[in-house]
Structure 1
Amino acid sequence: MGAITTSISLAFTNTTFPLRNDGSFRKKSFMGMGISKKRDSFSCKISAIGRIGESLTLDQKLSTNDNKMEEYNVAMKRMMRNPYEYHHDLGMNYRQITDGLIVGSQPQKPDDIVHLKEEQNVAYILNLQQDSDIEYWGIDLKSVIKRCKELDIRHMRRPAKDFDPDSLRSGLPKSVSSLEWAISEGKGKVYVHCTAGLGRAPAVAIAYMFWFCGMNLDTAYNTLTSKRPCGPNKKAIRGATYDLAKNDPWKEPFENLPDHAFADIADWERKLIKERVCALRGT
């Protein structure tokens, strides 16, 4: 029997979410929600898809998705040691970090690409997921990429292993290279995402702000996390910074350095990092 798609769309406008004293969202107040920001309002889209004639009922599928989310969030809390959660069932969520940079969770369907184009003027998408991440959540990436092409959005991939600081550290230079190139093109905003938008994607955005925007690591980190509460791995960003700034075979192992090492850099180090990152374009 053919497939029937059932969708539920809820829009919330002029909705106020609880804030901390510092102006940031409380945990779980927006995770899985804010699709777009207009003044002080946010909208949320929730969709459910069911197919008649398949072995699982809609309730069983929703239960399976709940199990996936629970497993994922347990792993994230254990590996990243932070309290944040990903709610796949509430759809794509994101926050704008700078004028040209948005950080968020994975687009789940072609309509999400339409939304990013029409509501946020996104011209580039930088996807940090591995194939296994996409398969785990059942995302039809081909249809997402097809819609990107139809809307003249450049889709780029720089896969890094989820919850793995070593993979993040080694992949940051090329990921930031792609991000910096897209921002410098100036054709529209860049949407950077991983799965939940809580680890890899914000780490890439923070590294970009650290290396290219004249901020130290703490300033870049606080700038992003005040807008999108999350817990990306600072040590991985410091490690990547060290790798780029100290490229000689006799350097001391990064693991032997104090915890504050390479949380800030000299002007000559920043210049060197910029040159090395920009040289990675197209590789």
Structure 2
Amino acid sequence: MTDDYEVSVQQLNDLLTDENGDFHMPSKNFNEVYPRILLGNQSVATNINRLQQLGVTHILNAAEGVSDMHVNTGAEFYSSTGMIYHGVPAFDTDHFDLSVYFEEASKFIQTALTMKGKVYVHCQKGYSRSAALVIAYLMLYHRMNVHTAVATVRERREIGPNDGFLRQLCQLNNRLKCEGRLCEQ
């Protein structure tokens, strides 16, 4: 018998698909997926004026780097804006270990929110890498189990973290459960 915390990658994928089992790409450039957390794509991340209009104070780039799979911004790109930048050099592949960045990315988001800031979390499409980091944040700082965290983000934006990232989020869920750091939900 599995307990309420044990969630499989397939169960998470079921949350992310429609009634036909299809995934959908985001219909908007960004969405506010949690108060003061905007999850979006590179077009907004590279538009300083739009970020300023949105009141963004912090940028978390989950696709830092120079390959065609990355978004080539950095702290210097935002230096004249006063926005605080943090980059995670992640690849959107099943075998990339994103979990090594869960704690630091989550701390960055939490620090921004504690300062009454607004965080723009992005990768190329705002679909896989960045979504996984926001889900990890909700688990680490809001004690949500992985199912609730995925559902919370998915309710506000079409997302589809790859199976490797979902597996890592399940592992985080198990670790937090063992440490007594998840709420009963």
**TM-score, normalised via structure 1 length:** 0.49
Q: Paired residue for 1:141?
A: 73
With CA pairs under 8 Å and 6+ residues apart, which has the higher RCO, 1 or 2? Answer: 2
Task: From 40, 45, 61, give the equivalent of 1:104.
Answer: 40
- Of 80, 83, 86, the residue aligned with 2:23 is 83
1:155-166 matches, within 5 Å, as 155-166=85-96
The CA deviation at 1:108 is: 6.3
Q: Does 1:179 align with 2:109?
A: yes
Aligned residue in 2 for 1:213: 142
Of structures 1 and 2, the larger Rg is shown by 1
Q: 2:84 aligns with which of 144, 151, 154?
A: 154
Deviation of 1:270 (Å): 1.6
Code of the aligned partner of 2:169 = I
Is the Cα contact below 8 Å between 1:194 and 1:200 reproduced in 2?
yes
Contiguous gaps of at least 5 residues in structure 2: 1-15
Question: Normalising to structure 2: TM-score of the pair?
Answer: 0.72
CA distance in 2, matches of 1:170, 1:150: 30
Give the drift of 1:125: 0.2
Q: How many residues are aligned here?
A: 161
Report the Cα distance in structure 1 between the residues aligned to 2:93 and 2:135, rounded to whole angstroms: 17
Q: Where do residues 1-283 of structure 1 align in structure 2 (5 Å cutoff)?
A: 83-85=23-25, 93-107=29-43, 110=46, 112-118=47-53, 120-133=54-67, 136=68, 141=73, 145-146=76-77, 148-186=78-116, 188-232=117-161, 233-242=165-174, 245=175, 265=177, 268-270=179-181
Q: For 1:100 and 1:86, locate their aligned partners in 2 and report how far apart those are by CA, in whole Å.
A: 19
CA RMSD in angstroms comes to: 3.2
Q: Which whole-Å CA distance do the structure 2 matches of 1:209 and 1:138 have between them?
A: 24
Percent identity, aligned pairs only, is: 23
Give the Cα–Cα distance (whole angstroms) in 2 for the partners of residues 166 and 82 of structure 1. Answer: 24
Q: Structure 2 counterpart of 1:114, which letter? A: N
Residues 231-265 of structure 1, C-alpha deviation per residue, up to 9 Å, x if partnerless? 124211122344xx4xxxxxxxxxxxxxxxx6xx2
C-alpha contact 1:82 1:231 (8 A) present in aligned 2 = no
Deviation of residue 126 (structure 1)? 0.4
Q: What are the ranges of 5 or more consecutive residues in structure 1 without an aligned counterpart?
A: 1-23, 27-80, 246-261, 272-283
User: 2:63 touches 2:69 (CA, 8 Å); kept in 1?
Assistant: no
Contact kept? 2:41, 2:124, Cα under 8 Å: yes
